[in-house]
Structure 1
């Protein structure tokens, strides 16, 4: 039990020097990627930039001890930053409290084994949300690329104001921002097409591969460093055509409880009011955080051939958010981009996260004065480069080809997320739920005609489908000439509830009024036990379809020789 709750005990006794070397390399590489991303994602969240760094180290430390996937790295992400922007109202106190409450909810879900709730968020809803988020976040950064000030955050107003004021574009910001975007895109493409150097190749070739791979992997850090040097050069020359990040407080955040109230100009906002203000965010933020983390962990565990414990992942993320709130972190989750960098760097254990976290702490302690010269256009380019791949244009074509009905939750989520993120997610889940309930309430039904009607459900039988089944059976049994008794093939039914039992009893009584009977065949043990316990009057069941055929032949009017045939076959959907 201790090894299950503390996964570090599984790999720590076997830790070796080769593992240490690879973990150090991977941790440093992820850190070089994560530090500039942390600054950029704080901008997306609408918080001072230091809060991105405050959110980037505690998750690394906690996951090292509690996580079950060697590749996963926790920290701020584009999706979570967008959600924080919607629910924290650009107030650090709200963002930190949201991290604490989200962590508590995630811990409770882990302890109560409620991770199955994530299964109700369908793939079309996730794709619709991430695609809309990609567009929203990218356009939110256009103002920084163009050097525009005072642009509202609401998406449609943002588009209108940006287009209206495009003539106010600062040339320096635009040139630098577009140049950074081009460099980032080029390095990304270079990395994806880079052939791996074989061991037997000359040292120069392997060294060249390492240099190019490192440059492409740490492209965010290189671009931000280059842009900072350009801005510093202009500052030294006495002219500054770029919009700079500005001062960032130096030093580590204090370790303290999050604030449960907030001072406001007209008084104090109590804890209850803060919770009411965050509203549905207290469900959306922890659920989306869990979904992102578990999905990433499963993907990389499958890719690298190891197993994870999804429930332990919930606990690890919950602890990371709770403890993170003690160091002024906003909600964090698994990062797909940094996790991919971690895996490609050859990480062997979650200990690589310790190196990443240490690098963030060093940046906070000693490098924040240098962040003053980072141009906002460069950070905007980093964000846009990170979120553009999240837009999946092919999903629309795929769903049109595979199942067009799934386009409904996809499009509902996608379109409403431009209005408000929470409306898009909630509406998408509701539409997916309605489609799921409809398929349960209207299962496919097959009717085989013989001396009796054999009725077979194509899926399990739940109480919403009972009325549909009763109407279909009665209409077919009474429409036959002469009217025929019914055998219900239950091979696909694994469980039933009381409402179904009552419905079956009423169906039997209705058939009996017309001199017909209802029997069952191929009952699974749990269903048979329920029906026997219900003590239905005149209950008949047969172990197999063949036994039911003999029952059909013995019916009045039957000659006992005609087997069931598929003379009539219908889905019976209304």
Structure 2
């Protein structure tokens, strides 16, 4: 039944995209559920939307539900009275009708765009296509769902992290790998986390942060630049955090303190800030361990490192 729902909604959205209208998935599931409840009273198989018959109806010019009513009546009359006339019809003719209707729905350019934008989305698309083509519709959709679930788990457990640099023209901090004009701030390592901070990725984020620090230290030694004194974690994109994430941040702060490095949090959103406050984790960071923006953190901390000028005697 689950695969029938997936197939019906997928088919509906396919034709909706071609005709530029919206499909309500909840209404589709209600309709399919009621259809199968009524059908079970007459010992029917699990039913769903048919891609091939929908394609034939679409190419024939069907626009409304009336086309389905006419099709149902035609099929009923054929099954009751006209079956002997079609007894010797080769399956090749029936297959040719379906193939002719479906071939026009294949979007080659869409597959190329998927490959350029997201490789895993393209793999899900191709796996569902070839699975349906060579095996069956349920198995093809099951493969596509499996690839999509794998992609979700991969994004959850391996979130994006970036080292930020300063762009003077915009007065903002952006990814060094994305912006050529971004420059590193001496003695600072600024890391942006672009995902919720919770049990599924907390260990990875801690290891990735320590790896960023090691890579930065190796680069500094090679270029003979000032050593890292402060690590700033930009939490602008961290929309949620749980107890595992809080414990990881506290553990990371302790690890960096042993290496004489200061850990600073920048711009935690309201939900994250509230949980950090309730867990009493902010007490360990102190007043100079939390800032509203990365720029404010860099300016304030770097100013505290400047040597004070000796007072002049009158």
- TM-score normalised according to structure 1 size: 0.41
Q: Which has the higher contact order (CA 8 A, sep 6+)?
A: 1
Partner residue in 1 for 2:33: 318
Distance 1:513 1:492 in 2: 28
Distance 1:406 1:400 in 2: 7
- Give the secondary structure class of the aligned counterpart of 2:227: coil
Partner residue in 2 for 1:487: 232
1:395-417 superposed Cα distances (whole Å, 9 cap, x missing partner): 55444544556554455555666
The residue correspondences of 1:230-379 to structure 2 (distance < 5 A) are 283-293=2-12, 295-296=13-14, 298-299=16-17, 303=20, 308-327=23-42, 329-330=44-45, 331-333=47-49, 335=51, 336-338=54-56, 340=58, 344-345=61-62, 347=64, 350=65, 353-372=68-87, 374-379=89-94
Q: Which structure 1 segments of 5+ residues have no match? A: 1-101, 103-282, 561-574
Partner residue in 2 for 1:386: 101
Partner residue in 2 for 1:466: 205
Partner residue in 1 for 2:249: 504
Q: Which structure 2 segments of 5+ residues have no match? A: 166-184, 221-225, 309-314
- Give the secondary structure class of the aligned counterpart of 1:333: coil
Distance 2:92 2:134 in 1: 26
Aligned length: 271
User: Is the 1:416–1:423 contact (alpha carbons within 8 Å) kept by the matching residues of 2?
Assistant: yes
Whether 1:475 and 2:232 are equivalent positions in the alignment is no
- Give the secondary structure class of the aligned counterpart of 2:278: helix
- Give the secondary structure class of the aligned counterpart of 1:531: helix
Pick the aligned partner of 1:550 from 296, 299, 308.
299
Whether 1:538 and 2:255 are equivalent positions in the alignment is no
Cα distance, 1:554 vs structure 2: 4.0
- Give the secondary structure class of the aligned counterpart of 2:209: helix
Cα distance, 1:499 vs structure 2: 2.0
Distance 1:392 1:519 in 2: 49
Cα distance, 1:325 vs structure 2: 4.0
- Give the secondary structure class of the aligned counterpart of 1:453: strand
The residue correspondences of 1:60-79 to structure 2 (distance < 5 A) are none
Distance 1:312 1:466 in 2: 40
- TM-score normalised according to structure 2 size: 0.68
1:59-114 superposed Cα distances (whole Å, 9 cap, x missing partner): xxxxxxxxxxxxxxxxxxxxxxxxxxxxxxxxxxxxxxxxxxx2xxxxxxxxxxxx
Distance 1:428 1:309 in 2: 21
Partner residue in 2 for 1:200: none
